[in-house]
Amino acid sequence: MEKNAWHERLQLLRGWLLGREKNKSQLPDLATAIAAAREEWLTAQRFFECVSEPDLVDQAIYSIEAAERKYMYLLRLAKTKELSSLLQ
């Protein structure tokens, strides 16, 4: 994904998570964000499997950890939203 497109998606997601975004039609739904985060995590894992240079291995490990945390956060958020909607 192109760097600008990634940055734009990240800004939209950040605004959505913080509730600051006004135009809800442009924002990805939670399921889409989870799917994208999962794909990012898998891509980071594939990158790790392909590198051998020490600096790239370090970067790949960092990317895996960051992507995994993002994915797990979104899963927890989805579970919280699901539970809160059941209680209402």
The answer to whether the beta carbons of residues 39 and 1 sit under 8 Å apart is no
Residue 80 banded pLDDT, cuts 50, 70, 90: confident
Query: Count of domains in the chain?
Result: 1
Per-residue pLDDT tens over the stretch 38-77: 999 999 999 999 999 999 999 999 999 999 999 999 999 9
Residue 3 banded pLDDT, cuts 50, 70, 90: low
Closest residue by Cα to residue 42 from 71, 3, 21, 13: 71
The pLDDT of residue 84 is above 60: yes
Cα–Cα dist 41/54, whole Å: 20
Per the confidence metrics, is the pTM higher than 0.85?
Answer: no
* Residue 20 domain boundaries: 3-87
